[in-house]
Chains A and B, each alone.
Chain A
């Protein structure tokens, strides 16, 4: 940034001419590209997988088995397209599951309305008020 910019009110993003090659690269970074980022040591633990997670994994694999998508497309949807907040905030299999939901809608296999109605129906069926 040049010093003249610091005297102006803050902008939501740098001026186009302020994005040099290095900054451009930074903005192109995808949420899942975390290798080498700094972080602090944490206590390691084992975590039992939830049944819904295991089932979501199988659903994703079946969608690929039968040609609805390929693993690269799944990875893009679950690791890149979600954005940073969802990438870091959702459980591992939560991202698999969201990607599966998205491919059904994106490929017009179901409409968003169908999906929402189905979720409501499932919740009612399983006793959620």
Chain B
């Protein structure tokens, strides 16, 4: 296990973990048996290393600035993704096998706030939002968000007045969601880039709201990996 203090990890024993050994074994066997090629794996890895939340943030920013584009976002999230550089058919030609190609953009109103969960696993619009945070994957968030949404949101610092309805959208294998919050006050005259910066991953999941001056996710303690992934 990695230590929890955030400084650089110094492993006590120079040996690979059971998971590392199994990962290498499975990957090498699959390639040796011709189930996929090393080039497939390399190509998909390159794709996976370059996905992140910025395009989804830009989609919302563009929609705030352009009512026609906003309409497209609400009607066809996949088509709207193209304008922010995301082609859901990449990298295989038919998309990533696990994410499918159906993106719904959930529009908040003064009396309605959306927040996204996947109670059965951790479905997430990876091509436009990158990889899920671990807290989105674990049973605790999935158990409690659908039962006590206001309380869970409050734990993320988002306290909503009772007149605002909270709608929890449960992702599923065929359909993925991002939240389009209302454009916050104090952003009048802002450029698309400026607006994109405040649309963080947390805002797109719906556990926080965009705020001028806040361009990062909620500051949470970080558990470091022993050998971190590159994404």
Q: Which residues of B contact A94 (CB under 8 A)?
A: 19
Which of A37, A60, A127 has the largest number of chain B CB atoms within 10 A? A37
Q: Chain B residues near A110 (CB, 8 Å)?
A: 29, 33
Tell me if B185 counts as interface (CB < 8 A to partner A): no
Interface range on chain A (Cβ under 8 Å from partner): 35 or more
B228 in complex: contacting residue of A32, A51, A55, A128, CB < 8 Å: A51
Measured CA separation A121–B36 after assembly (Å): 21
Q: How many residues of B contact A (CB 8 A)?
A: 67
The segment from B55-63, B64-72, B74-82, B119-127 found at the interface with A is B119-127
Q: Tell me, in angstroms, the Cα distance from A118 to B156 when the chains sit together.
A: 45
* A-contacting 9-mer, from B101-109, B131-139, B175-183, B187-195: B131-139
A59 touches B229 (CB 8 A): no
CB <8 Å contact, A126 and B21: yes
Q: Which residues of B contact A52 (CB under 8 A)?
A: 17, 19-20, 23, 227
Give, as a whole number of angstroms, the nearest-CB distance from A57 to chain B. Answer: 7
Given contacts A34-B142, A122-B25, contact A66 B228 (CB under 8 A): no
**Residue A46 at the B interface, CB < 8 A?**
yes
**Sample of 20 more A-B contacts, CB < 8 Å, known A46-B222, A48-B222:** A34-B139, A34-B143, A35-B142, A35-B146, A38-B144, A39-B144, A49-B134, A52-B19, A56-B27, A58-B41, A59-B23, A61-B44, A62-B35, A66-B35, A92-B122, A109-B35, A110-B29, A119-B21, A121-B25, A127-B16
